């Protein structure tokens, strides 16, 4: 991972937008800091498209899509997206209704199994807002150790579901969507751009293993300083890294991008 001062000016000048994680990328210690929100607004005002791509639930994303200075919000690690349509928010799913119904029943079985077999397993507080996945709290209101997280993800995968880990949650999902595929599909539908253009002309910002697909797909990526804790698990890690963690680091990244675009 290289410092932001080494960002390639010509590449940055060609950027059309930013896809970014939320938890520990826009937030610091669980809260959206003013620096990060102002950075979102500055990026949007500069003409860049801005789309948060998060593991948070669809209900959470709908509110953000309606109230934040963004073009849309992708939620549940790619399985749902929320777009503003005039005064209303439209929810668009990756999977069809039949697939979602099958997944709902299977996730209920996983939930019961994990809660019964992993002593400190706890469903995330925002589970009631989710439409396609199941999240266990590993770092939001409690901190589980590596063995406990592994016990949860092992049981998820044994049930045939995908397991994704962020800084705050361990997710179970039967959707094949990921953050990169969802970003590419959104850009195709909303902006009329093919995947190869999305990969080259958008910056992806994230900080944890559930951002791995984004780091692999986008040719220009960055992370706040706290991404270093997962550097050994990311292949590849983000190309560039800020000096500050969380939302302050995101603000650094946006400032570096905007400075090169106007220089």
Terminal C-alpha separation, the chain: 24
The last residue of one of the domains, among 173, 206, 241, is 173
Mean pLDDT across the chain:
96
Name the stretches of the chain with pLDDT < 50. none
Count structural domains, the chain.
Answer: 2
What is the domain-level CATH number for residue 137? Answer: 3.90.1070
Q: pLDDT tens, 121-151? A: 999 999 999 999 999 999 999 999 999 999 9
The whole domain housing 161 covers: 97-173
Q: Give the position of tokens 């890690």.
A: 237
Q: Are residues 152 and 205 in the same domain?
A: no
User: What pLDDT, on the 0 to 100 scale, is given for residue 79?
Assistant: 97
Q: Are residues 256 and 137 in the same domain?
A: no
Tell me the whole-structure pTM to 2 decimals.
0.94
Question: Of 146, 140, 101, 100, which is closest to residue 123 (Cα–Cα)?
Answer: 140
Q: pLDDT tens, 155-189? A: 999 999 999 999 999 999 999 999 999 999 999 99
Q: Are residues 229 and 243 in the same domain?
A: yes
Q: Which residues pair with 139 in a beta bridge?
A: none
């Amino acid at each position: 991972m290289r410092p932001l001062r080494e960002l390639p000016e010509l590449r940055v000048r060609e950027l059309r937008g930013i896809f970014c994680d939320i938890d520990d990328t826009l937030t610091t210690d669980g809260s959206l800091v003013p620096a990060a929100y102002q950075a979102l607004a500055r990026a949007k005002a500069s003409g860049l498209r801005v789309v948060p791509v998060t593991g948070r639930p669809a209900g959470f994303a709908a509110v953000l899509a309606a109230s934040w200075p963004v073009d849309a919000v992708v939620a549940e690690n790619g399985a749902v997206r929320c777009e503003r349509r005039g005064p209303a928010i439209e929810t668009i799913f990756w999977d069809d209704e039949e697939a979602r119904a099958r997944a709902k029943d299977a996730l209920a079985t996983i939930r019961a199994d994990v809660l019964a077999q992993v002593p400190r397993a706890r469903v995330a507080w925002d589970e009631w807002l989710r439409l396609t996945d199941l999240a266990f709290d590993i770092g939001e209101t409690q901190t589980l150790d590596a063995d406990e997280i592994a016990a949860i993800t092992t049981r998820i995968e044994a049930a045939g579901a995908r397991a994704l880990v962020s800084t705050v949650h361990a997710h179970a999902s039967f959707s094949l969507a990921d953050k990169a595929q969802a970003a590419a599909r959104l850009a195709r539908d909303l902006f009329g751009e093919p995947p190869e253009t999305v990969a080259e002309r958008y910056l992806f910002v994230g900080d944890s293993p559930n951002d791995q697909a984004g780091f692999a797909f986008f040719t220009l990526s960055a992370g706040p300083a706290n991404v270093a804790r997962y550097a050994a698990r990311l292949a590849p890690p983000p190309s560039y890294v800020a000096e500050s963690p969380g939302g302050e680091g995101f603000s650094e990244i946006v400032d570096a991008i905007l400075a090169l675009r106007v220089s």
